[in-house]
């Protein structure tokens, strides 16, 4: 696991997950292996024929000097045509978007898990926070009884 987008699970209902490869430059894969990645503000753009990872920050590799890459450049996602078509149809529905959930290395290749997502309303987020607090309180009570 290289990077996770923790805000994605909090701000969206994740519907369908896909695994996508990334088209990278040499210095980018070295930065990814070093764990210098942030998916916080990134999203996926589909133009009907290709899918792009936009605003994912991959820090410049220190040893690459003048051959370094732009940290926030658009990166093409490697998906099958049928998967791109499925994503294209999914985002045509109102309120749907595609968000990167996590980035990881699989057989020395960088992969991104993306998900079709629907945004949560403010009251849904409050409900999640209340539920998490209740679980935490129950766990505390159990620990006190065990002591």
127 occurs within a structural domain: no
- The residue whose two tokens read 């695994």 is 19
Could you tell me the pLDDT band of residue 69, with boundaries at 50, 70 and 90?
confident
147 occurs within a structural domain: no
82 occurs within a structural domain: yes
Domain with 102 in it: what CATH number? 2.40.280.10
With a cut of 90, say whether residue 134 has pLDDT above it: yes
79 occurs within a structural domain: yes
- Domain, as residue range, for 29: 3-120
Query: From start to end of the chain, where are the E strands?
Result: 3-4, 12-22, 37-38, 43-46, 51-54, 57-58, 75-78, 96-106, 109-119
73 occurs within a structural domain: yes
What pTM was computed for the model? Answer: 0.81
Mean pLDDT value across residues 37-56: 92
Annotate 7-30 with b (16+ C-beta within 10 A) or e (fewer).
ebbeebeeeeebebebebbebbbb
Mean pLDDT value across residues 50-71: 86
52 occurs within a structural domain: yes
125 occurs within a structural domain: no
78 occurs within a structural domain: yes
State how many domains the chain has.
Answer: 1
Rounded CA separation 91/32 (Å): 28
Q: What is the pLDDT of residues 97-114, one digit of tens each?
A: 999 999 999 998 999 999
With a cut of 80, say whether residue 146 has pLDDT above it: no
Could you tell me the pLDDT band of residue 147, with boundaries at 50, 70 and 90?
low
* pLDDT computed for residue 6 by the predictor: 87
């Amino acid at each position: 696991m290289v990077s996770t987008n923790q805000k994605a699970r909090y701000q969206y209902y994740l519907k369908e997950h896909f695994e996508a490869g990334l088209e990278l430059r040499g210095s980018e894969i070295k930065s990814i292996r070093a764990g210098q990645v942030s998916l916080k503000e990134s999203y996926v753009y589909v133009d009907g024929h290709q899918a792009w990872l936009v605003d994912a920050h991959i820090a410049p590799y220190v040893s690459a000097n003048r051959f370094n890459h732009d940290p926030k450049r658009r990166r093409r996602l490697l998906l099958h045509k049928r998967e791109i078509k499925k994503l294209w149809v999914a985002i045509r529905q109102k309120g749907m978007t595609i968000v990167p959930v996590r980035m990881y290395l699989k057989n020395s290749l960088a992969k991104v898990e993306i998900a079709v997502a629907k945004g949560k309303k403010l009251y849904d987020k409050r409900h999640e926070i209340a539920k998490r607090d209740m679980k935490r309180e129950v766990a505390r009570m159990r620990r006190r009884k065990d002591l």
